[in-house]
Amino acid sequence: GLAPLPARRGCQCYHRVQPVVHRSLARPLAPRRRVAPIARAESEQVGALGQACSIDDMASCSLAELEMMYIDSLWNYYQGGKQVLLTDAQYDRLKEELNWQGSGFPTLKREEIKFVEASIEYYRGNKILSDAEYDALKNKITQAWINGRGKRTD
C-alpha cells in the first residue's frame, strides 16, 4: 500500500511500500492449462501452456509454466508412463532450468508431487483423489514438514 512520508515544506508525499511475498506465492499456478503429449520431434511445442511456451525455448515460459510441465511429466511417469510428455534430454534440460531459476520443484518427493498434481488437476476440473485421500496426503506432508521444523528429514 501507500504510506505517507513526513511532510516537507507543505508537501504531502507518498512512496510505495513493497510487501514481502514469497516467490512461490508471487506467481500462482495458472489453472485449466494442460500439457499435451509431444511427438519425438524436439522442436514441437509441449501443449497449451502458453502460446509461446515451448520446451525448446524455455525463456518464453514463466516459472509456473515450467513447474507445471515438470510436475505433469513426473506424474505421468509415476503413473506408468502411458504418454511420453518429455524425452529424457528435454526432461534433463527442464530440471536444470528449474534449478537455475531457484525452483524447489526438482527436489520434491513422490508424495509431494502427487499432492501438487492433485491440486493442479482439481483446479483443471479433474479430481484424481477423493477428499479423504487428499486430506490424508496433505496432513502427511504437513506433519513431515512440521516434524523436520521446515526441513525434510531425509
Say yes or no to pLDDT of 48 above 90.
no
Say yes or no to pLDDT of 87 above 70.
yes
pTM of the model: 0.57
pLDDT digits (tens, 9 = 90+) for 49-76: 455 688 888 888 999 999 989 988 888 8
Q: What are phi and psi of 11, to 5 degrees?
A: -105, 130
Write down the domain spans for the chain. Answer: 30-106, 108-154
Please, which contacts does 45-49 make with residues 24 or more away whose CB atoms are closer than 8 Å? 46/85, 46/86
The arithmetic mean of pLDDT across residues 86-112, rounded, is 91
The span from the first CA to the last CA of the chain, in angstroms, equals: 41
CA distances for 91 relative to 18, 57, 117, 122, 123, angstroms:
36, 13, 17, 24, 24
Q: What are phi and psi of 2, to 5 degrees?
A: -100, 140
Spatial contact of 120 and 127, defined as CB atoms under 8 Å apart: no
